[in-house]
Amino acid sequence: DAGVIQSPRHEVTEMGQEVTLRCKPISGHDYLFWYRQTMMRGLELLIYFNNNVPIDDSGMPEDRFSAKMPNASFSTLKIQPSEPRDSAVYFCASSLSENSPLHFGNGTRLTVT
Amino acid sequence: AQSVAQPEDQVNVAEGNPLTVKCTYSVSGNPYLFWYVQYPNRGLQFLLKYITGDNLVKGSYGFEAEFNKSQTSFHLKKPSALVSDSALYFCAVRDTDDKIIFGKGTRLHILP
């Protein structure tokens, strides 16, 4: 099993540009989570899906952020337009069920200049 | 809402000594608690969980955690620390709507 796969590993972009982060969860996992990690705020849950359906997006900072899960094997997190304060490491994680452990990808380090 | 607190930003332990990383929780109902570890430039890795049953839970890499209902604590422990245990440790709780909420993390330094 390849685990949760995120791409790209690093993204450097200029303020105002659109950024798309990608995630492939572990096959068969019903839950998918997007987290953001910064030194100041730690790990923040942005949004999570159950069976491809968004369940709670209350952690999404503002309308510039959007996430989709068009099928069970792919999810995207989009920021449009990006701002320097969006700079962080973004993690995708999946789990088999509600009580199962999360399996994390290695993250995408986003730098917005 | 459920929450966890990790009161220590950093813990320093000499190699070979026992280690404890503290976590307290606040939940309504039965707590579902987890510990994860993060190494540099990597995602979090699951160590162990408490759902129900024995209060002492054993996990990966020789770690264990003790669930204490009266003290609302779930401290992570290891009898003998290794330098390779140096990492960032997160306590987490499952919220009533299946969200996993993480503490702020504790950086563990094992001194050779």
B82-93 tens-digit pLDDT: 999 999 999 999
Q: Which residues of B touch A93 (CB under 8 A)?
A: 43-44
3-class SS of residue B60: helix
Alpha carbon distance A14, B50 (integer Å):
44
CB contact under 8 A, B46 and A42: no
pLDDT above 90: residue B53? no
> Quick check: B104 contacting A, CB < 8 Å?
yes
- Write down the residue that tokens 């990597």 correspond to: B42
Q: How do beta strands B100-102 and B87-94 pair? A: antiparallel
Average pLDDT taken over every residue of chain A:
95
**Half-sphere exposure (CA, 13 Å, Cβ side) for A73?**
2
Q: In this predicted model, what pLDDT tens digit does every residue of A44-91 receive, in sequence order?
A: 999 999 999 999 999 998 899 999 999 999 999 999 999 999 999 999
Q: What contacts A38, CB < 8 A, 6 or more positions away?
A: A44, A87, A88, A89
Which two structure tokens, joined as six digits, stand for B45? 């890795």
> Quick check: B42 contacting A, CB < 8 Å?
yes
Distance of CA A3 to the CA centre of its chain: 15
